[in-house]
Amino acid sequence: MSSLGSAQSAGGLTTNVAANGELRLAGMSLAELRRTLFDQLFQVLLPFWDKHGIDHEFGGPMCSLDYDGTLLDTGKNLWFLGRAIWVYSFLYNRFGKNPTFLEVARKTKEFVLRYARQKDGWWAEQFSREGKVLRPFSGDTEGIYHLAEGLQEYAAASGDESSHDAAAAMLKKLFRDFDSPAFRYRGADFPYLWGSTRAIRPQGLWFLNLRISTQMLARWDDPQVATIADQAVDAIMNRHYNPDIGLNTEMLYFDFTRPKEEAQKVRFGHSVEALWMVMDEANRRHDEALWRTCAQRIRQHLNAGWDYIYGGLSQWINVDHPSYEWPVETPPGTHQQLHFTGEYEYMKCLWCQNEMLVAALSVLERTGAAWAAECYGMAYQVVKEKFWQKERGYPAGYMLFADRRMTLQPHVGRQDNYHPLRQLMLNILTLDRMMRVE
């Protein structure tokens, strides 16, 4: 089996340095790659969402879209509403202060504040296009985390102190709930945990606490938020990390012991995402040792999770369980039922590849490591050839979930308004820093 950093990738032999010594990524110079990503974001994806997915009348995104932009359902979900506030506020903050972006964020924020707030302090989860509540809060706190992230970014974009105050209050309330033995997971990702009689806390919620804290602390001092960041870093780096396998496991009990059935299960995309978020927090703290530990662990996860036969970062591994029968996967927006038996659960998700691209380029910026350049090229190629539908004649759509071979689905029922856009924005900003250094 090959390993990251060698010359062999799923797409064949690659080189990362041109004859003149210039670094090349995915077969392009840094300037060419930056131009390609910029055009993909601003000339293709954002116009696609503006035309097909953004509700300019009532506010917020409608994500039930096929590749060609056909709108299959006009419902709205708190996850995607909060994510839209963040994406368009971040675009405004980092890419030219375009008032059009701020207006999308504002109308989305107003939709949520008008229709989603409940008298008990929680937030409804699903809505009609016009704002009728279709599902009140049922325990899925992840949508509220995304709303908090969106509001803090909107506060920075607009100067709206009430949005900052709301985001800080949400984060602190969410963390009090999460950091209690009474916590019970009710998120969409792991429905099999809903019946647990003990508090099981996934790594994915730790990194949401961390990501929001890092962004807020970069702008505002808040001792309570700093404490949340400290606890999240400790959980990701010291508790979820299993030194026996050199990887981060996803599920821990409240006391940080490992549930027997979950003790060696690694969700590769979440672990890579968590680690690049800790790297970003390490940058904020100027903690070089923490940053380098994250970089080394990212390499371990990518080396273990990459499918060297068909390409792509795998979804899960259950280490030392060669006969494990994975729960049937029915990915959102598809009619698929994916069955896997063995150590690996080989479902391929676009968001996992997006996180790999963010992490690899972050490592490359600081270290120049050949393995990170190779890794970036491998993930870029898989996204371009398997998930991205532009070259098949569609305006901009992605396949979000697939089987191991990433078999093309002729139609899908959902597009992602967050991970691909975030990856492109963060990659462009990283490339800008890399080119300034050069």
The tens digit of pLDDT for each residue in 273-303 reads 999 999 999 999 999 999 999 999 999 999 9
> Does 7 have pLDDT greater than 60?
no
> Does 395 have pLDDT greater than 90?
no
Determine whether 82 is exposed, middle or buried from the number of CB atoms within 10 Å of its CB (0-12, 13-18, 19+): buried
Q: What is the mean pLDDT of residues 155-160?
A: 98
Question: DSSP of 229-280, one letter per residue?
Answer: HHHHHHIIIIISEETTTTEE-SEEETTSPPPGGGTTEEEHHHHHHHHHHHHH
Specify which residues 388 forms β-bridges with: 398
Instruction: State the average pLDDT for the chain.
Output: 94
Domain boundaries, the chain: 1-53+306-438
Q: State the pLDDT at residue 3.
A: 59
With cut-offs at 50, 70 and 90, classify the pLDDT of residue 12. Answer: very low
For the stretch 331-338, contacts whose Cβ atoms lie closer than 8 Å and that sit 24 or more positions apart, written own/partner, are: 331/400, 331/401, 332/400, 332/401, 332/413, 332/414, 333/64, 333/400, 333/401, 333/412, 333/413, 333/414, 333/415, 334/401, 334/409, 334/412, 334/413, 336/401, 336/403, 336/409, 338/403
pTM for the model stands at 0.95
Q: What is the mean pLDDT of residues 208-222?
A: 98
Q: What is the mean pLDDT of residues 165-181?
A: 98
> Does 35 have pLDDT greater than 50?
yes
With vertex at residue 156, the alpha carbon angle to CA 76 and CA 226, rounded to the nearest 5 degrees, is 95
> Does 6 have pLDDT greater than 70?
no
Q: What is the mean pLDDT of residues 29-33?
A: 97
Query: What's the chain's length in residues?
Result: 438
> Does 196 have pLDDT greater than 80?
yes
Q: State the pLDDT at residue 172.
A: 98
